[in-house]
Chain A
Amino acid sequence: MFTTHRVKRLALVLPTVAALVAGVGACSGGDDDPNSLTLIAANSPWAEGIKVLAEDYKAETGITVKVDTYSNEQLNDTYKVKLNAQSADFDLMAYQPQDVMREFSRNGWLADLSERVESDAAWNWQDFQQPARDAVTLDGAVYGVPVMTERHIMYYRADLLKDAGIEVPETLDELKAAAAKLDDPDNGVYGIAMRGARVPLVTQFSSFLYSFGGDFQDASGKATVNTPEAIAAYRFYGDLLKDSGPPGAANMGWVEASAIFAQGNAAFYLDADSQAYTFLDEANSAVTDTVAYAKFPEGPAGSLAYNIVPQAVGVNELSDKQDQAWDFLSWASNEANSKRLLNEQTAPVARQSAWDDPAATANYPEGLVDIIRNAGDGYISHDRPMLEQVARAREFVGGPAVAAIEGGDVASAAEQANTDFQALLDSER
């Protein structure tokens, strides 16, 4: 009987060993394979488009480009783990310039592409919109190719405004009045939906900050979130949500806030234009016919909203296939392919020529194309504090806005935030 147990055990052991051996054998390498490149990116329309383009690239050049995608949050975690361990497992990396470019470039993880972008006249670096080029340049060096752009716009319900006889707000004060008028919680409609969670709101708050004449930092890099303009902006943002926003606003990121608008429960929604798609998709939205777009309203200092690069693609400095990597990258971001991405994937690319081409923009929501074509003027190319420890800074500078939403003391919250923020900036000198 002992032997039958032994036989039973062997029956378990053998497949395990076989699986392990197979596992070792099935080493999916590709590192040393000169005919393959690996690109890591975040889930986005651009990444979807690249997967398609990669197939064409393979047909043309025989080089396989493997695309690994992650959600935004996991993307940065993955990079930090792999690059800290000096990994050469991947060659191209899509990243968020404002969040990590400073840090990654100073860590020596991003290859300096300045020469490459300047030297290729046919590829035409100048065709990329100015704010986009600024976004990927640090201390004179270029660390990536911008592949997506994003602006702060105002979504609104054309039907609700029309029924109430309200004109489309062109100033922030008009917006406040309109939101208050349309706020009808008893019938489940809120005046406005926006991000209210401390860290996520910072980027959307930035446009308010600029339009009130403030900024996170001044020209010399000093913290300036306690100026009268900043405090006014914080108060305004918080009051908007407090008076006309949904309950629990201080816990909302774009996911929750956009869901409220998509469901038809908000009259206004101010956030990135990249979310237009959710509202136009019948499976995702109840407002497909009633959503409309407008430029960010004017504040006391004008209409100064952000126009940023949410995704740029750089070359892993630790990779030994940098030339091939650049070849693919420049091919994928050339004029023809950019137009293709804009047209087929509605990826909001960074090339002016793509936006100027009506054929390319045919599938893009009408109201938006105008706003984007004129995005060069009056737009700010950053939407968050500019330093290495952006994440931490966001926690500080988002605090006063949360205080405003919750009806607390904004002035002292702003003082505290400024002190903390300045300390952080000092620690990086």
Chain B
Amino acid sequence: MTVASVRRRRRDRSARSVLRIAGILLVTLAFLAPLVWMLAASLKSNLEIIDPGRTFDFTPTFKNYDTVFGDQAFGPFIVNSLIVGTGSTLVALLVGVPAAYGIARYRIKNATVFVLLARIIPGVSLLIPWYFLFSQIQLVGTYLVLVLTHFFVTMPLVVAIMTSFFEGVPEELEEAAQIDGTSRIGAFARVVLPLSVPGIATATILSFIFSWNNFLFALVLSDQGTRTLPVAISNFTSYAAVDWGGLMAASVIITVPVMIIALVAQRYVVSGLTAGATKG
């Protein structure tokens, strides 16, 4: 290796990293820009929002946030969405992760297909039969029914993601643990699970997001006391007016809790780097 080629390699590498940084900035901007617009809109009056000339020229006001927490009393809705989101995600993980492992290790393709069926079914065909079922057992308007119906949507997601992860974990590792005297299920818990933390973190974030955004089931199965955020958002569409500012402010508020959860969980999404070292 000559000095010249070392210098060339260093130049290439820094050119590449400049490109990389530019790329990352561009991508982040592309995804963020509309949401920044939304944030700005939440600080404007309705009139300013519908005027494209005033995109950058406006006086910020917190009136919309006042409406959201005051008139519309969004606090309880946030709590409801949190309860349902956490509940359904936990149950989905509890049921879905082991199922995914079983499918991956025992190669039960049919189970994946069956579980995916739950996601293929269009929500429309579920509404009336479910409403009928759940009202018969008096569950309409409870948290349980929302957790159940959201679980129905998120569990297949967990299974689909985790199956592909488990398939990527070489079986030799578990076999090695078993030779040392651990049970199969012990091997699963002690060896496989830690290696799959990125997958689990991903499944958790996505599952929570899907539950958070679910609109159709909550529309019909919740009552004023258990109403979740997506349904509550419709409160800003009144008979003869749309409160754009309020709508945007509510949307901003809605993203905050999920952002926090995602911030915490995403650290685990790429944690496999250290776990990879133990794969020896």
Chain A interface (Cβ < 8 Å from any Cβ of B): 1-2, 5-6, 12-13, 15-16, 19-20, 22-24, 26-29, 31, 42-45, 66-72, 74, 77-78, 81-82, 84-87, 89, 254-255, 259, 262-263, 272, 274-275, 277-278, 281-286, 310-311
Which B residues touch A286, using CB under 8 A? 47, 51
Please tell me which stretch of B82-90, B160-168, B254-262 contacts chain A, meaning at least 4 of its Cβ atoms lie within 8 angstroms of it.
Answer: B82-90
**B141 touching A28 by the CB < 8 A rule?**
yes
A2: which of B139, B186, B220, B242 is its contact (CB, 8 Å)?
A: B186
Bound Cα distance A89, B182 (Å) = 54
Please name 5 pairs of A and B residues whose Cβ atoms are closer than 8 Å in the assembled complex, sorted by A. A12-B90, A28-B141, A45-B239, A262-B47, A283-B245
**5 more A-B residue pairs beyond the given contacts A82-B220, A278-B241, with a C-beta to C-beta distance below 8 A:** A20-B87, A28-B141, A263-B47, A283-B245, A311-B239
Expressed in whole angstroms, the minimum distance between the Cβ of A94 and any Cβ of chain B is 11
Known: A72-B239, A78-B220. A27 touches B87 (CB 8 A): no
Bound Cα distance A391, B231 (Å) = 24
Expressed in whole angstroms, the minimum distance between the Cβ of B176 and any Cβ of chain A is 15
Shortest Cβ distance from B44 into A: residue: A283
Bound Cα distance A73, B21 (Å) = 46
**A24 touching B240 by the CB < 8 A rule?**
no
Bound Cα distance A306, B193 (Å) = 67
Shortest Cβ distance from A77 into B: residue: B219
In the complex, whether B132 has a CB less than 8 A from a CB of chain A is yes
10 tightest Cβ-Cβ pairs between the two chains A and B:
A23-B143, A44-B239, A85-B132, A23-B144, A71-B237, A283-B45, A43-B238, A284-B46, A71-B234, A274-B240
Question: Interface size on B (CB < 8 Å)?
Answer: 47
**A20 touching B144 by the CB < 8 A rule?**
yes
Which residues of B in the span 137-167 have a Cβ within 8 Å of any Cβ on A? 138-144, 147
Bound Cα distance A24, B143 (Å) = 7
In the complex, whether B50 has a CB less than 8 A from a CB of chain A is yes
Bound Cα distance A89, B226 (Å) = 15
Bound Cα distance A31, B226 (Å) = 16
Bound Cα distance A16, B151 (Å) = 13
Bound Cα distance A338, B93 (Å) = 54
Which residues of B in the span 198-249 have a Cβ within 8 Å of any Cβ on A? 219-220, 223-226, 231, 234-235, 237-242, 245
**A1 touching B245 by the CB < 8 A rule?**
no
Which A residues touch B141, using CB under 8 A? 27-29, 89
Bound Cα distance A85, B132 (Å) = 5
Bound Cα distance A77, B206 (Å) = 28
Which A residues touch B83, using CB under 8 A? 19, 23
Known: A12-B94, A283-B46, A283-B245. A81 touches B240 (CB 8 A): no
**B94 touching A68 by the CB < 8 A rule?**
no
Shortest Cβ distance from A24 into B: residue: B144
Bound Cα distance A43, B223 (Å) = 15
In the complex, whether B135 has a CB less than 8 A from a CB of chain A is yes
In the complex, whether B69 has a CB less than 8 A from a CB of chain A is no
**A81 touching B46 by the CB < 8 A rule?**
no
Chain A CB count within 10 A is highest, among B142, B220, B224, B240, for B240
Known: A82-B220, A283-B45, A284-B47. A23 touches B142 (CB 8 A): yes
In the complex, whether B117 has a CB less than 8 A from a CB of chain A is no
Bound Cα distance A91, B127 (Å) = 21
Which A residues touch B94, using CB under 8 A? 12-13, 16
In the complex, whether B263 has a CB less than 8 A from a CB of chain A is no
Which residues of B in the span 63-102 have a Cβ within 8 Å of any Cβ on A? 63, 83, 86-87, 90-91, 93-94
Known: A16-B87, A23-B143, A283-B46. A42 touches B223 (CB 8 A): no
Bound Cα distance A28, B140 (Å) = 8
Which A residues touch B226, using CB under 8 A? 28
**B240 touching A275 by the CB < 8 A rule?**
yes
In the complex, whether B20 has a CB less than 8 A from a CB of chain A is no
**B240 touching A2 by the CB < 8 A rule?**
no
Chain B CB count within 10 A is highest, among A66, A82, A86, for A82
Expressed in whole angstroms, the minimum distance between the Cβ of B85 and any Cβ of chain A is 11
In the complex, whether B268 has a CB less than 8 A from a CB of chain A is no
**B51 touching A263 by the CB < 8 A rule?**
yes
In the complex, whether B128 has a CB less than 8 A from a CB of chain A is yes
Which B residues touch A281, using CB under 8 A? 46
B240: which of A6, A12, A272 is its contact (CB, 8 Å)?
A: A272
Expressed in whole angstroms, the minimum distance between the Cβ of A83 and any Cβ of chain B is 10
Expressed in whole angstroms, the minimum distance between the Cβ of B92 and any Cβ of chain A is 11
Shortest Cβ distance from B187 into A: residue: A2
Expressed in whole angstroms, the minimum distance between the Cβ of B225 and any Cβ of chain A is 4
Known: A44-B239, A71-B234, A277-B240. A84 touches B220 (CB 8 A): no
In the complex, whether B190 has a CB less than 8 A from a CB of chain A is yes
Known: A5-B189, A89-B135, A286-B47. A19 touches B127 (CB 8 A): no
Shortest Cβ distance from B219 into A: residue: A74
**B90 touching A275 by the CB < 8 A rule?**
no
Which A residues touch B143, using CB under 8 A? 19-20, 22-23, 26
Known: A72-B239, A84-B128. A24 touches B224 (CB 8 A): no
Which B residues touch A13, using CB under 8 A? 94
**B190 touching A5 by the CB < 8 A rule?**
yes
Bound Cα distance A43, B240 (Å) = 9
Shortest Cβ distance from B86 into A: residue: A19
Shortest Cβ distance from A188 into B: residue: B53
Bound Cα distance A13, B193 (Å) = 17
Expressed in whole angstroms, the minimum distance between the Cβ of A290 and any Cβ of chain B is 14
Expressed in whole angstroms, the minimum distance between the Cβ of A342 and any Cβ of chain B is 15
Which A residues touch B242, using CB under 8 A? 255
